[in-house]
Amino acid sequence: MKVLTMKQPWASLFALREAEYETRTWKTPYRGALAIHTSQKIDVKACRQKMVSELLGRHGYSEENLPAGQIIAVCRLEDCFSVIDHSGSGAVLENGRIISGQELYLGDYRTGCYAWQVSGMEILKEPIPAKGRLGLWEYPL
């Protein structure tokens, strides 16, 4: 299965569907099953931001108990949309979707970045320890 490694707290917020899109500076032609892996590093400064802290808290997480170095969820990568415009209050995707509020805050919506759209997100009951890699990588799930 293809796997995407993400830094915490962003990986958990995405897996928990607090963020609809995962934003990247690159697109992929791949569509299909995708596992979400958490890197070993946790962005503690991000965890302490008010909105992030509150969103994590809704699900019983804090910077102290976020999973690290584990595959935590599986989903299906459906599409990648380029960000065609960005202002301080919002961004526009190539499909016409306007991004604002929490979604804008949780992603990198600079013009030229990509919003990865997924469906069917499922949190694994038992996370799988794994060493992450850059880009999409394979893991036998």
The residue range of the domain holding 16 is: 2-78+117-134
CB 71 within 8 A of CB 37: yes
User: Which burial class, exposed, middle or buried, applies to 109 when counting CB atoms under 10 A from its CB (0-12, 13-18, 19+)?
Assistant: buried
Residue 65 sits in a domain of what CATH number?
Answer: 2.30.130
CB 37 within 8 A of CB 68: no
Report residue 136 as tokens: 């999409």
- pLDDT tens profile 61-100: 999 999 999 999 999 999 999 999 998 789 999 999 999 9
For residue 91, tell me if it sits in a domain. Answer: no
For residue 108, tell me if it sits in a domain. Answer: no
Domain count, the chain: 1
Instruction: Name the percent of the chain lying above pLDDT 70.
Output: 100
Of 79, 76, 106, 77, which Cα lies nearest the Cα of 91? 106
Residue 128 has pLDDT above 90, yes or no: yes
Q: What is the pTM of this model?
A: 0.93
